[in-house]
């Protein structure tokens, strides 16, 4: 079965986010007065084959821990979608 994992990686709330502060400053400079806070994270779409949803979940969790997220300063969560098997061009 094919699955699509949508992975969201964000800095832990206690960790400073200079990139977010820069984006917020840029928005203010452009004349946007309403934003109060910006945090920047990563978003990954990962397609994988696995025997079951549980197997896929375990795999993705492992990938996040070993490579995708820096779990010292980042937290991650992900959604899994089952993808109907078809030949997608691209």
Q: Least distance in Å: CB of 2 to a copy of itself?
A: 8
* 38 binds a copy of itself per the rule CB under 8 A: yes
Contact, 69 vs 8, CB < 8 A? Answer: no
CA–chain centroid gap for 25, Å, is 23
Tell me which of 47, 52, 53, 70 binds a copy of itself, using CB under 8 A.
Answer: 47
- Pairing between β-strand 74-83 and β-strand 2-11 as defined by DSSP bridges: antiparallel
**Is position 85 an interface residue for a copy of itself (rule: CB under 8 A)?**
no
63 contributes a contact to a copy of itself by CB under 8 A: yes
- Rounded to whole angstroms, the Cα distance separating 17 from 10 reads 10
Count how many Cα atoms sit within 13 Å of the Cα of residue 8 in the half-sphere of its side chain.
8
Q: Name the residue nearer to a copy of itself (CB basis): 26 or 72.
A: 26
For binding to a copy of itself (CB under 8 A), which residues are involved?
2, 8-10, 13-14, 20, 23, 26-27, 30, 32, 34-50, 56, 59, 62-63, 66-68, 90
């Amino acid at each position: 079965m094919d699955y699509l994992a949508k992975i969201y990686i964000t800095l832990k709330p206690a960790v400073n986010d200079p990139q977010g502060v820069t984006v917020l400053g840029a928005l203010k400079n452009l004349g946007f007065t309403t934003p109060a806070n910006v945090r920047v994270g990563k978003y990954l779409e990962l397609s994988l084959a696995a025997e079951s949803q549980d197997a896929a979940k375990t795999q993705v969790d492992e990938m996040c821990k070993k490579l995708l997220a820096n779990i010292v300063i980042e937290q991650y969560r992900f959604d899994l979608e089952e993808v109907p098997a078809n030949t997608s061009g691209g």
